[in-house]
Structure 1
Amino acid sequence: MNNSQDKDRDDQDNNNKLNLIPQRFIEATQKLNTVLLYASLVGIMTGFVGTSFRLTVTAILHQRQVLAVLLQNYPILNYILAIAISGIMGYVAFWLMRRFAPDTGGSGIPQIEGFLDGVFSLHWQRVLPVKFFAGLLTLGSGMILGREGPTIQIGGSVGKMVGDCFRGTKEDLRVLVAAGAGAGLATAFNAPFAGIIFVIEEMRPEFQHPISSLRSVTLACVMATLTTRLMVGQQPVMDITRFDIPQLDSLWIFAILGIFIGIIGYLFNLFLLRALNIFSSLRGLSYQFTGLYVGAIFGLLSLIYYPTTGGGDYTIIWAFDQQISGDVLILVFCIRFILTMISYGSGAPGGIFAPMLALATIFSLGTAREFHSWFPQLLPEPAVLAVAGMGALVAATVRAPLTAIILTVEMTGNYLLILPLLITCLMASMTAHKLGGKPIYSVLLERAIQKKSNQK
């Protein structure tokens, strides 16, 4: 009996010694495992599905523009068709979402984060098809929604699917879902490094083996980007001017811009939550036909003034290419701000990253043209301020400044603007924090958990 107790005591002592060994030493002795192979498969599949989603949305919007041009001599018919097509697309999207997969509403990022935290399940069998087709319909209707939300949730679902197929452990599933989510962001913006940092900075999953798990996330993002570039080419998502390094004595302008965008970020989160609450309180016909009338609004606006609709890619290029006055840009910013609240607040399947990038760019460019008139020597190229401000709203609302900085650099190819981007994004993030704002995805996750508990 004493020998047995001594053996148990020795085993306990050995376990205690193992617990004292730093994680880095344990991981240094580990061999490569099959999760890396699964992660590469997740990346390839996410890259293919996500890029197909992106190309299909572009094709739908292009065909709608072609139809509008063909019917320009028949304005009444043109307006009727635009309103009807967008309204029907919105209605069908909401029906699919509510009938088959309510957890595909919004960007889907809080749902992925909830799975990684162990508070939500992830049913890829219904999430994958519904998010893909409902996302096509909402983005194709002209709503102000980003493709990154669908591709992130699709990527996470692909990770869960691959893990289930290969009968991975619970930890393997978490790693693959995180890898798929990062690959989804990388696919949406052709930005692999941003996908990796997004998982680390925003999702912050706590893995049993952090280094090997990070390798899986990295590999998935790389494979997704390779697949994307094979399908659409290697050019940045935003094909705009590559700017030189701004003068050091002009950096205070970027700091002031960051403060302004930080205030906007605080207001953005505040009004977005109010919009979500308003739409979630709807009952009866106003609830049943949400997609119909929201879609119809954007069908009408797409003919009245196209830059006020869509995810934001076209609006950003339009703002850079046209010599538009600062007043007009600020007006477009205000309109898109309100319409973004309606689009995302309605609960439509779609992301919020791209709309925020567009909002920040338009506001920054409008501000830059005003600054240029006051300080022409300090800011010889006013559009450089727009690139610096592009990711600042993401930094302020999501509270993920590194993701915002790297995403902006990879999207635009402006690698020389790291310092101005750091200043603008950090000032925006700190200003929003000082005002009392909370990270938007954390608030949305908390809201989703509360909704789930109320339903029980």
Structure 2
Amino acid sequence: MQKNISSLFISSINRFIERFFTRKSSALIIWLSVFIGILAGGMSALFDHGIIWISELRLSFIEYYSDSTTPMWLVAIPISSLMAGLAFYITHRFAPEAGGSGIPEIEGAMEGMRPVRWKRVIPVKFFGGLLALGSGMVLGREGPSVQLGANLGRMISDIFKVDKVDAQALLAAGAAGGLAAAFNAPLAGIMFVIEEMRSQFNYNLTSTKSVFMSAIMATIVMRLITSQDAVVTVTSYSHPSLMSLWLYLLLGFCFGVVGILFNKMILATQDMYLFIHQNQRWRFVAIGLFLGAVFGGLSIVEPDIAFSGMELIPHVEGGHYLMGGLMILFLFRLIATLLSFGSGAPGGVFAPTLALGTLFGMLFGLAAQSLFPHLVTDAGTFAIAGMGGLFAATVRAPITGILLVIEMTSNYEMILPLIVTCLGATMVAQSLGGRPIYTQLLERTMKLSMRRKRQETTRKALSRVAPTDPKE
């Protein structure tokens, strides 16, 4: 009797393991996505704390070596230059795909067009991103977080040897977890994969649940390590007047035009850098040294132009700048964003884009307040709407933009103006023939990759040809 009970218990355990922990089981993929979310949240939190630590360390060195005869900005130039130059070197030397935000690489990997070399990308993106962002360059940490999360997903897929379809689901789950943790925005992380990566994402019940679980766990881990507060501390606004909604629609129309121009300028800046360095390492590193020096000096002299811009958003929304100052700051930060992101440095463009949207939105809000004082009581509401408007126009993911701004600022009553602004921006961008920035960046990457392969094939073919004797 006892043997029968033991046999029955063992067989039940075996059936349980066979059902829930086999490679083909959807339950295994869900559990793996939970683990990936934990890893992505921990990695994002570590990356965030690393940026703070290396920025404080840089500032300590600057303060230590500066005195009455040597100004701080002069000391900051060589320190930041070396940091950025090292970031550019390790990126070009070990994992060129870690350059930029990394999101086009993930989209390409989900389509099977780009490799995911997680053993190289994870350390290069992590340390290269710390150095580049810590030097003062205008870059965001969300791109590295997304690429790191996705590469962690591929790492787990390789360890557990899941099939191709499930590996894609775990890759997407890692990306969602990375974005959710970067901005403390689980809904935005989920929607980013579903909306932005819709052409690559394999929709089914298992993959969708994997994305949800990873984003949830990544956010929980991030909040346990940091806090549950919103990423950006701004004013909590009440519902704006319904009669003023047409102004938010007009703001969205403006962002539709600005977004298309912004995307074109990013691509043009990348072409300019490619023309300069010709993919030669010493030239690529020289660009990093130069940019590190420029933004290192700016981080001391005019910090509002340097860094990601996340710290700038509350000051802009709080009304600390007049219209003239907002216009100048917008133009300078636009140039700084293009120079930083277009260079191929390991960093994202989400945060700088949100900062630009806040600046333009506040500028529009002050103008609207002066023209229609009976409709606009607080120009700061347009700054909040502007954060989502430029994101929607450039990335062409309006729902993600709406959720991202709401979760980042805890302004849930601003949902209607955000919807109107993002809708207007998307409509104009689409009607004018604009395309999502990450789609264009992926296409550009694929063209450059094919061109280099053809050049390498031609070079090898020519090297095999024996030189002919001129006497023959």
Structure 2 residue identity aligned to 1:112: I
Is 2:151 the counterpart of 1:154?
A: no
Q: What is the CA-CA distance between 1:314 and the residue it aligns to?
A: 1.1
372, 386, 389: which is aligned to 2:369?
372
Partner of 1:200: 194
Structure 2 residue identity aligned to 1:304: V
Is 2:308 the counterpart of 1:308?
A: no
Contact 2:110 2:201 in 1 (8 A): no
Q: What is the CA-CA distance between 1:320 and the residue it aligns to?
A: 2.9
Return 271-280 or 198-207, whichever deviates more.
198-207
Matches of residues 436-455 of structure 1 in structure 2 within 5 Å? 436-455=433-452
Structure 2: how far apart are the matches of 1:186 and 1:418?
A: 19
Matches of residues 129-208 of structure 1 in structure 2 within 5 Å? 129-204=123-198
Please state whether the residue corresponding to 1:308 is helix, strand or coil.
coil
Matches of residues 209-224 of structure 1 in structure 2 within 5 Å? 210-224=204-218
Partner of 1:126: 120
Structure 2: how far apart are the matches of 1:373 and 1:350?
A: 38
Is 2:347 the counterpart of 1:350?
A: yes
Q: What is the CA-CA distance between 1:362 and the residue it aligns to?
A: 1.0
325, 328, 336: which is aligned to 1:328?
325
Q: Deviations over 1:429-449 (max 9, x none)?
A: 111222222110000011111
Structure 1: how far apart are the matches of 2:420 and 2:181?
A: 27
Structure 2 residue identity aligned to 1:200: I
Please state whether the residue corresponding to 1:289 is helix, strand or coil.
helix
Matches of residues 33-432 of structure 1 in structure 2 within 5 Å? 33-65=27-59, 74=68, 76-204=70-198, 210-283=204-277, 286-321=283-318, 323-432=320-429
Aligned identity (percent) is: 43
Structure 2: how far apart are the matches of 1:414 and 1:147?
A: 22
Return 222-231 or 433-442, whichever deviates more.
433-442
Q: What is the CA-CA distance between 1:63 and the residue it aligns to?
A: 4.1
Q: Scaled by the length of structure 1, what TM-score is found?
A: 0.90
Please state whether the residue corresponding to 2:311 is helix, strand or coil.
helix
Question: Structure 1 residues 424, 135: closer, same or farther in 2, change over 3 A?
Answer: same
Question: Structure 1 residues 265, 118: closer, same or farther in 2, change over 3 A?
Answer: same
Structure 1: how far apart are the matches of 2:366 and 2:63?
A: 32
Q: Scaled by the length of structure 2, what TM-score is found?
A: 0.87
Contact 2:183 2:408 in 1 (8 A): yes
Q: Deviations over 1:102-147 (max 9, x none)?
A: 1101000010000101111101000000000000001001111110
Structure 2: how far apart are the matches of 1:54 and 1:34?
A: 30
Question: Structure 1 residues 241, 35: closer, same or farther in 2, change over 3 A?
Answer: same
Please state whether the residue corresponding to 1:391 is helix, strand or coil.
helix
430, 433, 437: which is aligned to 2:430?
433
Q: What is the CA-CA distance between 1:78 and the residue it aligns to?
A: 1.6
Structure 1: how far apart are the matches of 2:381 and 2:252?
A: 14
Structure 2 residue identity aligned to 1:111: E
Q: What is the CA-CA distance between 1:69 and the residue it aligns to?
A: 5.9
Q: Deviations over 1:78-117 (max 9, x none)?
A: 2222001110011000110000001101000010000101
Please state whether the residue corresponding to 2:113 is helix, strand or coil.
coil
Question: Structure 1 residues 233, 287: closer, same or farther in 2, change over 3 A?
Answer: closer
Structure 1: how far apart are the matches of 2:307 and 2:164?
A: 38
Structure 1: how far apart are the matches of 2:398 and 2:363?
A: 22
Partner of 1:22: none
Q: What is the CA-CA distance between 1:76 and the residue it aligns to?
A: 2.9
Structure 2 residue identity aligned to 1:367: F
Structure 2 residue identity aligned to 1:95: Y
Contact 1:391 1:408 in 2 (8 A): yes
Structure 2 residue identity aligned to 1:444: L
Structure 2 residue identity aligned to 1:400: A
Contact 1:308 1:315 in 2 (8 A): no
Structure 1 residue identity aligned to 2:357: A
Q: What is the number of residues matched between the two proteins?
A: 427
Structure 2: how far apart are the matches of 1:68 and 1:208?
A: 49
Structure 2 residue identity aligned to 1:424: T
Contact 2:173 2:214 in 1 (8 A): yes
Structure 1: how far apart are the matches of 2:147 and 2:267?
A: 21
Contact 2:73 2:298 in 1 (8 A): no
Structure 2: how far apart are the matches of 1:181 and 1:81?
A: 38
Structure 2 residue identity aligned to 1:397: T
Q: What is the CA-CA distance between 1:453 and the residue it aligns to?
A: 1.0
Question: Structure 1 residues 321, 75: closer, same or farther in 2, change over 3 A?
Answer: farther
Structure 2 residue identity aligned to 1:353: F
Contact 1:272 1:345 in 2 (8 A): yes
Structure 2: how far apart are the matches of 1:380 and 1:73?
A: 47
Question: Structure 1 residues 376, 296: closer, same or farther in 2, change over 3 A?
Answer: same
Question: Structure 1 residues 339, 207: closer, same or farther in 2, change over 3 A?
Answer: closer
Return 152-161 or 358-367, whichever deviates more.
358-367
Structure 2: how far apart are the matches of 1:73 and 1:207?
A: 55
Question: Structure 1 residues 365, 73: closer, same or farther in 2, change over 3 A?
Answer: farther
The Cα RMSD (Å) is 1.7
